[in-house]
A and B are shown apart, each in its own frame.
Chain A
Amino acid sequence: MTEQQTILLVDDSENDLVLMKTAFRKADFTTPLQIVHNGEEAIAYLSGQGQYSNRIQFPLPAVILLDLNMPMKNGFDVLDWLRSKPALHKRIPTIVLTASARPEDVERAFDLGANSYLVKPGALEDLIAMIRCLRDWLRINHFPPLNQYVKK
């Protein structure tokens, strides 16, 4: 992925969002973040509805960091929705980042097409290390084009 692309952060906890932003900054991960607070907003963003209709302002993300336990629609609903969509949305790598380490949740997330499952660490330094790792992981991966696909 390129530095210009966007990461969509889906989380309902303001504290976690601030910590995440801090961790991104400290990990020198400068890719712009787009933030939504629940599953419903995430689906609206991804389908370009309402306030998210401007794709230049709200581009399709290169990767989604998805919390599971959220009000309105939760992370599983988002995964379910993504899977039901055509290739465009299905292609977006989706990383679950949650407090839950329940085996059932891990199984369900992967069954619904999650590409990775991360548990929020307690210590900030661990979170920084995780974000750094994520950055490196994204750098070494090859992903199918998204915006180009839209133009066709």
Chain B
Amino acid sequence: MAEKQTNDWSSLCLAFTEHAPLPMATVEGATHIVRYANPAFCSLMSKPAEQLIGRPLSELLPEKDQCVSLLDRVFRTGKPESHTEQEQSKPHPIFWSYTMWPVLADERLVGVIIQVTETAKFHGKTVAMNEALMLGAVRQHELVEAGERLNARLEQEITERKQAEKELQKAKAALADEAVLLERLVAERTAELTSTNKQLEAFVYSIAHDLRAPLRAMQGFSETLVNDEGPALSEAGQDYVKRIRDSARYMDALLSDLLAFASITQQRIELAPTNLQPIVEAVLSRLEKDIAEKHALVETTGPWPVVMAHAPTLSQVLFNLLSNALKFVRPGVQPQIRVRAEEALVQPGFVRVWVEDNGIGIAPEHQEQIFRLFLRLHRDAYEGTGVGLAIVQKGVERMGGSLGVESSTERGSRFWFDLRKAEQH
């Protein structure tokens, strides 16, 4: 078994040396008789194995070869040696490396194994490797440079980004400042506007009141003149004084209406749940004199829902609509007026209040214009300032409602306005 193993080992070693790319040979005895040469050795010597084996190595090598003296030394000392030698005969230097180690049999030196290596190939390879290394170094340098460039660019980019961020923050701060400025500007403008509005309001009032003072005098004294001194005046004189009085009266009415319009346009309007019934009743009682004088028939039909309204404005709206209904009737016709409220059909959540009359009506082509300020369709036949319906429209709009009229010259007018119904709690 052990024998077999040894045989196996020997054949394995032989197979190694046979196939090794390095030239190897074994020499025996003091004269270095070649006992074995592997194919690589044969090819190095450019001779077949038969011409090498059995011959002393010194015969096979060129003269001056130090190899033989080295062999002698190994043979003598029994220690492995290695040696490198340069061959100058070739255009490119060839280096030969020898490694020799003793072969012992029963602890007695019997031969030497020689292994030769031509290092030129290594040299070339080393050169190539060096070149490759250099190239690599260059490449590495390039890479380092590229890396550095990249880093520099990244740093630049980071710097730029930081700069951009700084700019952005600056812009944001500027924007915030701008917003604050704008807000302040808006506040200032609003204050200015409010102040202007207040001034305008004060102006309107003071004009109206200042105009009214002399007007009151004209009106009062012309009336006194007509009443107290009338008989002393000629007929023409009486006529003149009456004209002064009537004009003053008209101007007074105009100022009153303008003031009412200004106040309905400018006053603060807060909507609250408002019961329609007492308002309608109060308005009718204010018109009592008129109603009695014209023998008018006024019908109010409940039930009266609670609406979201501003009571004084709602009163003004109803007053103007009702006084119109009393005013615009043909001579000799008894005014018949109906006031009623219903759920608005077209606008859910709204209440529609109707003021219906049997008056002169409004021709379809005029129905659009009647809410315009100072518009008077019947300048000569009916007194008026042309402000009443403008007040109605403004008042309803300011209470968040809408209004309209259905009218024909045959049947009279039906004015309506919608107001939001108050939530029932």
Please give me the residue from chain B that is nearest to A69 by CB atom. Answer: B209
The answer to whether B327 has its CB under 8 Å from any CB of chain A is no
Please give me the residue from chain A that is nearest to B228 by CB atom. Answer: A22
| CB pair A122 B267 closer than 8 Å | no
| CB pair A13 B259 closer than 8 Å | no
| CB pair A16 B216 closer than 8 Å | yes
Nearest Cβ on chain A to B258's Cβ, whole angstroms: 12
| CB pair A19 B216 closer than 8 Å | yes
Please give me the residue from chain A that is nearest to B210 by CB atom. Answer: A99
| CB pair A102 B205 closer than 8 Å | yes
CA–CA, A89 and B219, complex, Å = 35
The answer to whether A127 has its CB under 8 Å from any CB of chain B is yes
Q: Which residues of A contact B221 (CB under 8 A)?
A: 15, 18-19
The answer to whether B212 has its CB under 8 Å from any CB of chain A is yes
The answer to whether B214 has its CB under 8 Å from any CB of chain A is yes
Residues A103 and B213 in contact in the complex (CB < 8 Å), given A19-B221, A124-B224:
no
Out of A16, A101, A125, name the residue touching B213 (CB < 8 Å).
A16
| CB pair A123 B252 closer than 8 Å | yes
Residues A15 and B259 in contact in the complex (CB < 8 Å), given A122-B252, A123-B249, A123-B252:
no
Interface size, chain B (Cβ < 8 Å): 21
Count of A-B residue pairs with CB < 8 Å: 51
Interface positions of A from 22 to 46, Cβ below 8 Å from B: 22
Out of A69, A102, A122, name the residue touching B249 (CB < 8 Å).
A122
The answer to whether A135 has its CB under 8 Å from any CB of chain B is no
The answer to whether A73 has its CB under 8 Å from any CB of chain B is no
Interface 1/0 per residue, A113-126 and B, CB below 8 Å: 00000001011110
Q: Name the prevailing secondary structure of the B interface residues.
A: helix
Interface 1/0 per residue, B237-255 and A, CB below 8 Å: 0000000000011001100
- The residue in A13, A19, A122 that gathers the most chain B C-beta atoms within 10 A of its C-beta is A122
| CB pair B209 A15 closer than 8 Å | no
Interface size, chain A (Cβ < 8 Å): 18
The answer to whether A100 has its CB under 8 Å from any CB of chain B is yes
| CB pair B213 A124 closer than 8 Å | no
CA–CA, A103 and B263, complex, Å = 9
Q: Which residues of B contact A15 (CB under 8 A)?
A: 213-214, 216-217, 220-221
| CB pair A99 B212 closer than 8 Å | yes
Nearest Cβ on chain B to A102's Cβ, whole angstroms: 6
Nearest Cβ on chain B to A97's Cβ, whole angstroms: 12
Out of B205, B209, B213, B223, name the residue touching A123 (CB < 8 Å).
B223
The answer to whether B94 has its CB under 8 Å from any CB of chain A is no
CA–CA, A120 and B220, complex, Å = 11
Residues A13 and B213 in contact in the complex (CB < 8 Å), given A102-B205, A103-B267, A123-B219:
yes
| CB pair A99 B252 closer than 8 Å | no
Residues A101 and B259 in contact in the complex (CB < 8 Å), given A120-B216, A123-B252:
yes
Residues A22 and B224 in contact in the complex (CB < 8 Å), given A100-B205, A101-B259, A122-B212:
yes
Please give me the residue from chain A that is nearest to B267 by CB atom. Answer: A103
Interface 1/0 per residue, B203-232 and A, CB below 8 Å: 001000100111111011101100000000
| CB pair A124 B223 closer than 8 Å | yes
CA–CA, A89 and B187, complex, Å = 46
Report B's interface with A, CB cutoff 8 A: 205, 209, 212-217, 219-221, 223-224, 248-249, 252-253, 256, 259, 263, 267
Could you give 23 example pairs across A and B, Cβ below 8 Å?
A: A13-B217, A15-B217, A15-B220, A22-B220, A99-B209, A99-B212, A99-B213, A99-B216, A100-B205, A100-B209, A101-B259, A103-B267, A120-B212, A122-B215, A122-B216, A122-B219, A122-B249, A122-B252, A122-B253, A122-B256, A123-B219, A123-B249, A124-B219
List 20 additional A-B contacts (Cβ < 8 Å) besides A100-B209, A103-B267, A122-B212: A13-B213, A15-B214, A15-B217, A18-B221, A19-B216, A19-B220, A19-B221, A22-B224, A69-B209, A99-B212, A100-B205, A101-B259, A120-B212, A122-B219, A122-B252, A122-B256, A123-B219, A123-B223, A123-B252, A125-B223
What 5 pairs across the A-B complex have the smallest Cβ distances?
A15-B217, A122-B252, A19-B220, A124-B223, A124-B220
